[in-house]
Structure 1
């Protein structure tokens, strides 16, 4: 069985490829990339590499030949229209090549009144797949824990988290855990054929005061919670190019839309996800 993974040089896609490689033969994995020049490590390791352009159906049609299962890690964009076109192109190429199975990446912020700019797409995805004849499973990720690690020096300097969510809680999952779950979803027929969404979270969610206490313990620096407004948050991170988009996500968090929990990860992988404290301590001290 041939499994193709999009975004195979990216943060999540590369980990999906790694997890698959621990369970099936390398010859059964196809790494789909936007630029082979960025895939030297995969090429040197002997993976089959195929180039794709999500906005070019011809490249997708070529890349999905003789593929049985596609693990679709979407591109990073804050354009709903671009993401919808991307998905439609992927589905078109799957139909052209008779690819019957799909594991699709999604996100917890899919509520119909969620102000996050990408929420319309995450609501569209399961409804669109429900209208197909595909075998599919949707990996609905909570917030990635990984960006918290490089964020810690700034939080130490600020002496506190500033997310504008008030007393609401946030749920997290690490990229490593998400990738393992997505790989297992592709390999377990009872999940791959379920046509269901699976919410990937750690065992518990956190208020920002609780998260700050964990960060204080890990770093030995006082990290409290000093929230700013949604508008101020967008201004603070505007220079990074996605301040307003992230602000809209946390506006949804302030409405209680980013704190869902489930045991789906344990059901899929047969073990518990890594805890937040263990994850932060392991990665923070590695970087010291």
Structure 2
């Protein structure tokens, strides 16, 4: 069995490859990366490193692949959808037997802006006729840890979430779930809604950060347009500022608050909590 992971030098893909190497021989694993030099350590371990760029579909080499772990890409929505659809088409042409795709919570019904990309890619995979599994990942704990150093410095954690809750999970737990699914059987046709063990709000995150650091931190929620303006002023590209603001506003509306047990079931233990993630990052 050959498993190929796209985006294997990225954050989620890199973790998934690490977990796969604990489960399958390196000779059974391939990766598709834009810059093969960044995967030299994987090549040294016996992994088949293939150079491929989603923006140039003719470079994608999925021949001989039984299971493809398609890691969703980054970038403006219209570019992501075009590239991911091209990768799905390339996989179908190459005779890939199964596609496991990292999607987002409630992709086909969510009001999140980024859900449109994931819903479109899911539809393309279904239409391809290839057996598939959708891993609908919730938000990562790590998305919210990056703002804590500044919050600890200023004493204020600024969001646009109000009192809304988010059932986030650790990136590593989600990568482990992906590795388990792609290296196992019995997952064809499954749609897994993967969240952390509980939903928390940003007042709680500020309190956790205060407790762990010993420094006072309070949460301040601002209107979405102000939050987006702050991100743009900090130098974020427009599409990212809009994406992050949309997610935060939707958290405030309760969109990402649902908790499921599916991640824990897949990985065989309780997923890491936000408290553990803050402690580990401190």
TM-score where L is the length of structure 2:
0.92
Q: Which residue of 1 aligns with 2:202?
A: 208
Do 1:78 and 1:118's aligned partners in 2 also have CA atoms closer than 8 Å?
A: no
The reply on whether 1:91 has 2:79 as its aligned counterpart is no
Distance across 1 between alignment mates of 2:210 and 2:69: 37
Query: Could you say which residue in structure 2 is the equivalent of 1:70?
Result: 68
Q: Deviations over 1:220-274 (max 9, x none)?
A: 1122211111011111111122222211221222221121211111221211111
The alpha-carbon deviation at position 130 of structure 1 amounts to: 3.1
The match for 1:217 is 211
Matched, 1:131 2:127: yes
TM superposition shift of 1:111: 5.8
SS in 2 for 1:5: strand
The 10-residue stretch of structure 1 (128-137 or 219-228) with the greater mean CA deviation from structure 2: 128-137
Alignment of 1:179-194 (within 5 A): 179-191=175-187, 193=188
Partner of 1:267, secondary structure, is helix
- Structure 2: runs of 5+ lacking an equivalent: none
State the shift of 1:133 in Å: 2.3
Q: Is it true that 1:140 corresponds to 2:136 in the alignment?
A: yes
Deviations along 1:15-67, whole A, 9 cap, x unmatched? 1100000011011110110011222222333321001111222212xx10100
User: Partner residue of 2:243?
Assistant: 245
User: Structure 1 runs of 4+ off > 4 angstroms?
Assistant: none
Aligned residues: 278
Q: Distance in 2 between matches of 1:113 and 1:140?
A: 11
CA distance in 1, matches of 2:63, 2:133: 21
TM-score (norm 1): 0.91
Deviation at 1:112, TM superposition (A): 4.5
1:236 maps onto 2:230 in alignment? yes
**More divergent stretch after superposition (17-26 vs 234-243):** 234-243
The residue matched to 1:162 in structure 2 has which SS? strand
- Equivalent residue runs for 1:92-171 within 5 Å: 92-108=89-105, 110=107, 112=109, 114=111, 116-171=112-167
Aligned counterpart, 1:53: 53
2:26 and 2:45 in contact (8 A); partners too: no
Give SS of 2:19's match.
Answer: helix
Between the aligned partners of 1:78 and 1:93, the Cα distance in structure 2 is 21
Structure 1 spans left out of the alignment, 5+ residues: none
Q: Which residue of 1 aligns with 2:173?
A: 177
Cα distance in 2, alignment partners of residues 268 and 190 from structure 1: 12
CA distance in 1, matches of 2:225, 2:110: 19
State which drifts further: 148-157 or 134-143: 148-157
Once residues 226 and 154 of structure 2 are traced to their aligned partners in structure 1, the CA distance between those partners, rounded to angstroms, is 15
1:214 is displaced (CA, Å) by 1.6
